[in-house]
Amino acid sequence: MTAAERRASGALAAIYALRMLGLFLVLPVFALQARHYPGGDDPALVGLAMGIYGLTQALLQVPLGMASDRLGRKPVILAGLALFAFGSLLAAWAPTLPWLVAGRALQGAGAISAAVTALLADLTRDQVRTKSMALVGISIALMFALSLVLAPLLVPHIGLAGLFALTAVLALAGMAVVAWVVPPEPPLPTAAGRGGLREVLANAELLRVDVGVFVLHAVQIAMWMAIPALLLETGMATAEHWKIYLPAVLASLLIMGGLLFRLERMGHFKAVYLGSIALIALVQLGFLFSLQAPSLWLAALLLCLYFVGFNTQEASQPSLASRLAEPRQRGAALGVYNTLMSLGIFAGGSLGGLVVKAWGSAGIFTVSAVLMLLWLGLAWPMKPPASSTQG
């Protein structure tokens, strides 16, 4: 990486980290704390407050991604972060659960993932793009792990409203990074040189990636409707679960960092990509097997392997999508990509609940394994960009 690429990668990863830390801090405590609001005795309303963020994200990723192709990446990112901060403040003020739903919806309306990823692609070369995207993926994984530790410690002192206020502060810090740290973006393409949504949706290789990110995040959310219960069956109290999650995430990052970039430089991008899909499928089967005799050590090992596969995909998928799209249509392409990611999160939560209700944890792991294997079959004939197959 050049100095400019390191600066761009670090700054944009920091924006992601600040935004995602704010989101993740709320997740471990939201369902319990929302019960204290007027209207919090309605599980459907609590679920809506939880999931509405993903729905508004899904609706606005494509329009804001396309807007970044026309108006520039930085203006869209700044506007999205401002909207996210306003939604966070509304959620912090919310006196009732319906107001909390409105705040969460506004948070999701700040859908900047496509614009941030497109800007990172604009500012880095193909040869180092996966490494740049991996920094973003690592920042997200670390923020998730950090939130599992911090949220239970902070909420007794500042409550859910305080967490939302902290989220607004983190979003404002992200705006400062955009304004003063992120390098200038390259010139916008002329109107005649811009790609449209129709071209993006006609690209079969991009559609493979879009389906993949949907499955990846649907399985991720669905899994977490079964994993806590499995850990409880091993004898580990809920308050101690982070002691499994955190080491698993950190160990997976070390393993991924030692293998992914080296193998990609050696020309094995496709093998790593397909191998990580297969690994996640095998993990689901491992969890299904473990239900017969829950073991804490086996659960920890499977979680570590899961995060190796998941974090590899988190680094590879946006990099692959950005290289498959022409520079003139990156915002649109990554908008579709992030829309499918948000829909996957929404589907994993809503459909995962139905699967648990009908078939329990065994149903979750069985359906997840089937989805991963179907994705593996769809991805098998993939044709990575030329830069992905060269060392």
End-to-end CA distance of the chain: 15
**Is 243 a member of any domain?**
yes
Together in a domain, 77 and 208: no
Question: Which three-class secondary structure state does DSSP give residue 342?
Answer: helix
For 132-171, what is each residue's pLDDT tens digit?
877 777 787 778 778 877 887 888 889 889 999 999 999 9
Pairwise CA distance, residues 50 & 34, whole Å: 9
* Overall average pLDDT of the 182-202 stretch: 72
Together in a domain, 166 and 20: yes
**Is 357 a member of any domain?**
yes
**Is 354 a member of any domain?**
yes
For 262-273, what is each residue's pLDDT tens digit?
777 777 888 889
The CATH code of the domain that includes 343 is: 1.20.1250.20
Confidence of residue 338 (pLDDT cuts 50, 70, 90): confident
**Is 32 a member of any domain?**
yes
Pairwise CA distance, residues 235 & 72, whole Å: 52
Together in a domain, 245 and 381: yes
**Is 374 a member of any domain?**
yes
pLDDT at 389 over 50: no
**Is 296 a member of any domain?**
yes
Together in a domain, 167 and 290: no
For 84-94, what is each residue's pLDDT tens digit?
999 999 999 99
Strands (E) across the chain are located at none
Nearest to 349 by CA among 245, 221, 257: 221
Q: How many domains does the chain have?
A: 2
Pairwise CA distance, residues 307 & 103, whole Å: 31
**List of long-range contacts for 357-364, beta carbons under 8 Å, 24+ apart:** 361/226, 361/229, 361/230, 361/287, 361/291, 362/288, 362/291, 364/222, 364/223, 364/225, 364/226
Confidence of residue 390 (pLDDT cuts 50, 70, 90): very low
On whether the CB atoms of residues 20 and 139 are closer than 8 A, the answer is yes
Q: Which residue has the higher pLDDT, 192 or 114?
A: 114
Residue 101, CA distances (Å) to 52, 98, 374 in order? 7, 5, 35
Q: Which residue has the higher pLDDT, 141 or 173?
A: 173
* Overall average pLDDT of the 361-379 stretch: 94
Together in a domain, 154 and 210: no
DSSP one-letter code for 183: P
Together in a domain, 20 and 82: yes
The fraction of the chain above a pLDDT of 90, given in percent, is 29
For 228-255, what is each residue's pLDDT tens digit?
788 889 988 767 877 888 888 888 888 8
Q: Which residue has the higher pLDDT, 113 or 349?
A: 113
DSSP one-letter code for 34: G
Domain span at 93: 1-128+147-183
pLDDT score of 190? 58
Confidence of residue 391 (pLDDT cuts 50, 70, 90): very low
- Residue that has been written with the tokens 């400019």 in this structure: 4
Together in a domain, 223 and 157: no
What's the whole-model pTM score?
A: 0.77
Together in a domain, 178 and 200: no
Give the DSSP letter string of 95-132.
SSHHHHHHHHHHHHH---HHHHHHHHHHTS-HHHHHHH
Together in a domain, 69 and 218: no
pLDDT at 311 over 60: yes
Together in a domain, 237 and 123: no
On whether the CB atoms of residues 206 and 324 are closer than 8 A, the answer is yes
Q: Which residue has the higher pLDDT, 74 or 220?
A: 74
Cβ partners under 8 Å of residue 94, min gap 6 = 37, 100, 102, 103, 161
Together in a domain, 67 and 120: yes
On whether the CB atoms of residues 54 and 192 are closer than 8 A, the answer is no
The listed range with the strongest mean pLDDT (43-57, 148-162, 296-310) is 296-310
